[in-house]
Amino acid sequence: MSTGKHRLKFEKRVTFAGWQAALISGLAIAFALALFSLIFILARINPLTAYQKMLAYAFTNRYGLPLTINRFIFLLLCTYAFIIPFRAGLWNIGMTGQFYMGALSTFAVVFAFGGKASRHADLSPELVIPLMLLAAAVGGAAFGAIAGFLRGRFNVNEIVVTMMLNSIASWLVAQMIKEGGPFMNPGGRSESFELPYAVYPPLIQEIPFTIFLALGITALLSFVLARTRIGYQIRAYGHSPQAAQYAGVSPFKIPFLVFLLGGALAGLAAYHYFAAVPGVYKISRNYGYFGDLAFYGIICGLISLGDPVAAIPVALLFGGLSIGGRFIQGELHMNFGVDYALLGVLMISLVAFQFFFRYKIVWIKTGESAHVGIHH
Amino acid sequence: MGEGILEGIKRGQTVLEARGITKRFPGVVANDRIDLEIKAGEIHAVLGENGAGKTTLMNILFGLLQPDEGEIYVGGQKVSFRSPLDAISLGIGMVHQHRKLVAAHTVLENIILGHPQAGKILNRKKAEKEIGELCEKYGFHLDLGARVWQLSEGEKQAVEILKTLYRGARVLILDEPTSALTPLETEKLLASIEAMARDELAMIPFITHKLPVVLAVSDRVTVLRRGRVTARLETKQATEASLAREMVGREVIFRIEKVQVEAGEPVLQVENLSARNDKGVLAVDGVSFVIRAGEILGLAGVSGNGQQELAEVLAGLRKAERGKVILDGKEITHASLLDRWQAGIGYIPAERIDVGSIADFSLVENVAMNFYFDDEYARYGIMDYQKIRRLTEEIIAEYNVITPGPEVKAKNLSGGNLQKLILGRVLARKPRLLIANLPTQGLDVGATEFVQNKLMEARKEKAAILLISEDLDEILSLSDWVAPIYEGRLMGLFPGDQASREEVGTLMAGLDKKGQES
């Protein structure tokens, strides 16, 4: 592109600072919102009003904010389920399945303690709640480990394996909670039995305690990746498996470990949503909606470039927009899924803007007319 | 465009001329008022170390970059290239060092791919015949129906050359033409280059090392240093030493000084060792040798004769099929890689970019590759990056690694500086046994000399060194023992001062002493 004596050129970036990534992501979000306002305009709704209502409900409303935070915790755990393998260069597309297996394991503990019989069953919270958490992590980890094992031992593509395992887990949940299934709700309704009151975990200002778990994992994960030997091995393997092997990193141990850990976190996300969020306390009928939402862990992980701390604002934004989008859909009588549509546009915009992670635009003075040059 | 400017041009006339080419990048002047004149039918080598500005100049001549200042003339007419397509249409061709071919396609398909007539009226039969004639004329032996992935490096290069010729190139820019070739392939290529020059084609090889090649075939040489032309001369007037001096800017000693070192105890004993390559074929076949402290054993061979596999078995990256490996009297045949490093083995892999380093890691993290497993550098599993950083700074200083600092990513280092870093990192462990696989391959003259001297220093400090090289001169000048290797077998063992170039050369080609196939 040329304008008189100047021309526009894309130049490959040599260095790239964290604040630049944040700036570019901010611009991408602004661009997506601007683009999406066209849809509001077509629906004869003032976009500013729509966004104002959406954000107000998601981030300031006393009913909306707790919903946003619950979703944020859920998304953050799913994001870490993606990020850990991602830092080892592997793709976990199976957080959905690991999430389902975490849910089943959690409820299996309660089932084993006879908690299905009555909501007033006398279970010891000090014993059962930690066991439920542990089971959620182990269930997710075991399911993730299948992909990690196959990858490490036989070099089987982890994307294919995790995707297929998603379907298996989804059917397994359906089988367990259907009418006549072991976890069925006494009232039918295609959902699981409800947890006994005794194992409702503590709430802090209406927020589940799992938020501390999630934020603790943020700190731990950042530390492990940046400062520890195992974190070094994971990153080395992620950048170059060949070079890592030269340096003595086990090509079996790393894939196995990262999928084990990733799966465990997806499993914990299931504990959070089905056993800690107030008002749920069961594997709800719309469990598939959360299974789909778990995939947003991939998007959040990619946008935050695998950085556990950067994942916090991203997961919070996605959580808030999905809650706020669903809210204004009802409020403004819109006849399509605003939450999914908006997340979709946001995702495309963020991915497109990643171009600027690698290139920058420069203006060059030229004497003569010139042409656009893109250097690779 | 001026199709056919170069048609009918006569030998000795100027085909391509660059005047006052200047190109700046942030922080450096890559090309500083460079003049270059190329005549039809001449072989004009452009010589320079890594970072001298060769790549930039080459890219400007081929239209990949536009100069900030200066002019380019083709056949006397001033031109400006917006892209390589402009250069190609004016008869300039480029043979890339990193091949740009479609591996799954046949040779013929690759050659006609991108040809302006392809898909329109280009007749496959006719193309096959014409390309066959080109092969015949310039001595390329290629099966046009073969798939590119089946070809050797030399054959792939021939495909690239044919591709440019078939598109009508009269000027060929050759990027490091001999760097990936075996000695035999190099000879063939040089013969082809001379044949093309006899046909009034201008050949411009860009070269960083292998000065003898330059002296053997070129007519004229232009030497670059730090973005400027430092010499422009007839090859007849040049010697290896004079060219090296112009390139490096100081006197270069080609004969490495070898002090007498008393050989000590045996450090490495290899007994009847065999191993398979990735395809399951026996690549190392019953090899036995001993290296003592303070000795260099030079393994001379053309690549692909089992050197790589042998190095990997010794380093612990590959399983031994049979035989024994003994380090300092202890058998380590089945020891893990990390146990070997901790027992005193140091390994410099041949692939310094893909295996020896991690491009997106900082220099500190790259140095950590050989240290993170030591408790001294990572207590209770927590890395002591301060300590590794100090070590990195020491290596940078001692090995003269040119970098803005230790936090720079490895991908920003030139090949020579990266190799110095890897060498420094491995030698900082003070290894009892050093396995150096192609330690100077692709390095410029200055860096080569530096690396070789460091190997000699390690020898003086009583390390046992296994030196693997395809450069026979390097082997002969450094080694205490020379072992030619062919198809996984050692063909003999000569004391370094008694090994003759001819004898070792014949043995590594798989011929017996009378020059017959054995």
The one-character DSSP state at B97 is: S
Q: What count of other Cβ atoms lies within 10 Å of the Cβ of residue B514? A: 7
Contact B369 A239 (CB under 8 A): no
Which of A236, A371, A373 is opposite residue B358, by nearest beta carbon?
A236
Distance CA B23, CA B72 (A): 13
The residues facing B18 across adjacent strands are: B36, B72
Please state, for a pLDDT cut of 90, what percent of chain B lies above it. 58
B330-331 sheet: strands from edge to edge = B282-292, B266-276, B322-327, B330-331
How does the average pLDDT of chain B come out, rounded? 89
Q: What is the mean pLDDT of residues B264-276?
A: 96
**pLDDT, tens digit, 9 for 90 and up, residues B109-132:** 899 887 877 666 667 888 889 999
Contact B358 A240 (CB under 8 A): yes
Interface contacts (A, B; CB < 8 Å): 66
Which of B317, B373, B412 is opposite residue A246, by nearest beta carbon?
B317
> Residues B32, B46: contact at Cβ < 8 Å?
no
Q: What is the mean pLDDT of residues B394-400?
A: 95
Pairing mode, strands B202-207 and B44-48? parallel
User: What residues of chain B, 342 to 381, have a C-beta less than 8 Å from chain A?
Assistant: 347, 349, 351, 354-361, 365, 368-370, 372-373, 378, 381
Distance (Å) from the C-alpha of residue B252 to the closest C-alpha of chain A?
A: 33
Residue B287 pLDDT class (50, 70, 90 cuts): very high
Distance CA A38, CA A26 (A): 19
Distance CA A328, CA B26 (A): 50
CB-CB neighbors (< 8 A) of B63 in chain A: none
Q: What is the mean pLDDT of residues B8-26?
A: 86
Q: Mutate one of A155, A222, A227, A232 to test the B interface: name it (highest B CB count within 10 A).
A: A232
- Tell me which of B57-71, B170-184, B384-398 is least confident: B170-184
Place of tokens 């082997």: B475
Q: Which CATH number is B14-247 given?
A: 3.40.50.300
Alpha-carbon torsion, ordered A206, A209, A210, A215, to 10 deg = 100
More confidently predicted of A303 and B457: B457
Contact B369 A245 (CB under 8 A): no
Burial class (CB in 10 A: 0-12, 13-18, 19+), A376: exposed
User: What residues of chain B, 39 to 98, have a C-beta less than 8 Å from chain A?
Assistant: 65-66, 82
Q: Which of A90-94, B304-308, B471-475 has the highest mean pLDDT?
A: A90-94
pLDDT value at residue B123: 77
A309 CB-side CA count, 13 A: 9
Could you tell me the CATH superfamily of domain B255-344+431-518? P-loop containing nucleotide triphosphate hydrolases (3.40.50.300)
Q: In a 3-state reduction of DSSP, which class is residue A82?
A: helix
Distance CA A340, CA A231 (A): 35
Give the start-to-end residue ranges of the domains of chain B. 14-247, 255-344+431-518, 361-427
Question: Is this complex's ipTM strictly greater than 0.85?
Answer: yes
Distance (Å) from the C-alpha of residue B72 to the closest C-alpha of chain A?
A: 16
CB burial string B91-117: b at 16+ within 10 A, e below: bbbbbebebebeeeebbbbbbbeeeee
Tokens of B151: 């070809």
Triad A253, A255, A257: Cα angle to 5°: 60
Contact A242 B382 (CB under 8 A): no
CB-CB neighbors (< 8 A) of A232 in chain B: 365, 368, 372, 378, 383
Q: What is the mean pLDDT of residues B277-300?
A: 94
Residue of A nearest to B351 (CA): A243
pLDDT value at residue A4: 56
Asked if A240 reaches chain B (Cβ–Cβ under 8 Å), the answer is yes
Contact B383 A248 (CB under 8 A): no
Contact A246 B378 (CB under 8 A): no
Q: B14-247 with B255-344+431-518: one CATH topology?
A: yes
A359-365 sheet: strands from edge to edge = A2-3, A6-12, A359-365
The one-character DSSP state at B431 is: -
pLDDT value at residue B229: 93
pLDDT value at residue B494: 95
Q: Does residue B96 surpass a pLDDT of 90? A: no
Tens place of pLDDT for every residue, chain A, 376 residues? 445 566 777 776 666 677 888 888 889 989 999 999 998 999 889 999 999 999 999 999 999 999 999 999 999 999 999 999 999 999 999 999 999 999 999 999 999 999 998 999 999 999 999 999 999 999 999 999 999 999 999 999 999 999 999 999 999 999 999 988 999 998 878 899 999 999 999 999 889 999 999 999 999 999 999 999 999 999 999 999 999 999 999 999 999 999 999 999 999 999 999 999 998 999 999 999 999 999 999 989 988 889 999 999 999 999 999 999 999 998 888 888 888 888 889 888 988 888 887 777 777 665 443 333 333 3
Sign of dihedral through CA atoms A271, A274, A280, A282? negative
